Amino acid sequence: MAEYSKILLDESEMPTQWYNIIPDLPEPPPPPLHPGTHEPIGPDDLAPLFPMDLIMQEVTTDSYVDIPGEVLDVYKLWRPSPLYRARRLEKALDTPAKIYYKYEGVSPAGSHKPNTSVPQAYYNAKAGTKKITTETGAGQWGSSLAFATAQYGIECEVWQVAASYAQKPYRKTMMEIWGASVHPSPSDQTEAGRSLLAQDPDNPGSLGIAISEAVEAAVQDPDTKYALGSVLNHVLLHQTIIGEEALLQLAKVGDTPDVLVGCTGGGSNFAGLSFPFLREKLAGKMNPTIRCVEPAASPSLTKGEYRYDFGDTMGMTPLVKMHTLGHSFIPDPIHAGGLRYHGMAPLVSHIYELGLCEAIAIGQTECFTGAIQFAKSEGIVPAPEPTHAIAAAIREALECKESGEEKVILTALCGHGHMDMAAYDAFLSGEMVDYDHRDADIAEAMAKVPVIA
């Protein structure tokens, strides 16, 4: 067989349904609770924030959801995305393992996030929403939503974590190119922001704070809704197009994965790649080890507790059962801004509790060491977040070198790092640091997590 390194699908082979894993699990995840009454919430409780089509996807028990034609048309700007066999990296590592990576950096915003921003904008436009508010950390989600809202003619207002607003001016420009307006968070635009700025005018912000601001702005205007780029069931659902395509691509070359690794911030790219493979595993058709890779500075799966907690800092969102470091925990400023979140998707947390996936945490200098090795051999410069997945894939490949096992490793390279040169600069100049575990801070934040009777 010819030496392939890029495995493509035709547009006509692109999956036309998203996959919902919940009906295939031995038990469903615990329901979200109302922040005041602690009773399970119903669809109406979410109506101020999301259009009904998305709320129904959040709670659906159907195994598959059709992707609307208007969404497929926009997906086709960059999908199907390529699957690569990392032959040059394998050679550099001198490993008998095969390493495959599904590359999501080919989207207009440069990451996997448009897989969900596009359907979210579409269902909002269909419901007559005039404006969508959101938060963004490193700027990837904000730019993905700005691109998507531009496709369907809706306004977009973004609260960007102040620290990254200052460090990553190009992401802000990208959002503005697509027509969004952008505020540094905390901002003087909301009650939540003003109260935090009164305590500390130099507050560097966090994802949890920015979520509080975007939610507050959305609930005050009936024509405005809110969108979240990760964590929720419907977001994970939309991302399964990644794994469905990867299954078809691996089938073309006759391989099945022995190990699947993905980076986890809120869990959406990991879920998107792994859930279709987990379906096959639960059906007894393959048996991959499925592993989450989180940053050592924000280790919600490996160091957090499985508890009901808020999704935001101010405690405005419903309570969701998830692995959490406490909603008031602010992770150290690692370069992988997209992984600096105190919680984890309830569905990924549930699957972890069921023993259907495992988790490890890796420090950022090991990640960037791996990223440089990857970029030198494969060419693509990874975003800081998937450097965690790459470092884990390299660990696995080096173990195969020791043991002589010819494992098939699959990972998601969920974004490129073209806007993240400051992070690479910090690494190459020797200024990047690894942060110590902050067990005391985690314990302090966990003490503020509500106790549910």
**Cβ nearer to ligand PLP, comparing 93 with 345:** 345
Q: Is 107 left (phi over 0), alpha (psi -120 to 50) or beta?
A: beta
CB of 265 to ligand PLP, least distance (A): 3
Is the distance from CB of 264 to CB of 84 less than 8 angstroms?
no
Write out the DSSP string of 411-422: EEE-BB-TT-HH
CB of 138 to ligand PLP, least distance (A): 7
**Cβ nearer to ligand PLP, comparing 161 with 339:** 339
**Cβ nearer to ligand PLP, comparing 320 with 400:** 320
Instruction: Write out 233-266 in H/E/C secondary structure.
Output: HHHHHHHCHHHHHHHHHHHHCCCCCCEEEEECCC
CB of 113 to ligand PLP, least distance (A): 5
In one letter, which amino acid is 375?
A
Is the distance from CB of 342 to CB of 324 less than 8 angstroms?
yes
Which residue lies nearest ligand PLP, judged by its C-beta?
A: 415
**Cβ nearer to ligand PLP, comparing 97 with 161:** 161
192 alpha-carbon distance from chain centroid:
25
Distance CA 136, CA 142 (A): 5
| Those residues with Cβ within 8 angstroms of residue 102's Cβ, 6 or more apart along the chain or in another chain | 81, 82, 83, 84, 242, 245, 246, 249, 273, 410, 411, 412, 413
Both tokens of 446, joined, read 């966990």
CB of 130 to ligand PLP, least distance (A): 26
354 alpha-carbon distance from chain centroid:
21
**Cβ nearer to ligand PLP, comparing 97 with 231:** 231
**Cβ nearer to ligand PLP, comparing 217 with 336:** 336
**Cβ nearer to ligand PLP, comparing 292 with 400:** 292
CB of 140 to ligand PLP, least distance (A): 3
CB of 25 to ligand PLP, least distance (A): 19
CA distances in angstroms from 332 to 150, 169, 216, 432, listed in the order given: 33, 20, 25, 13
Q: Is 181 helix (H, G, I), strand (E, B) or coil?
A: strand
Q: Is 366 helix (H, G, I), strand (E, B) or coil?
A: helix
CB of 383 to ligand PLP, least distance (A): 4
Query: Interface residues with ligand PLP (CB under 6 A)?
Result: 111, 113, 140-141, 230, 263-270, 338-339, 383, 385-386, 414-415
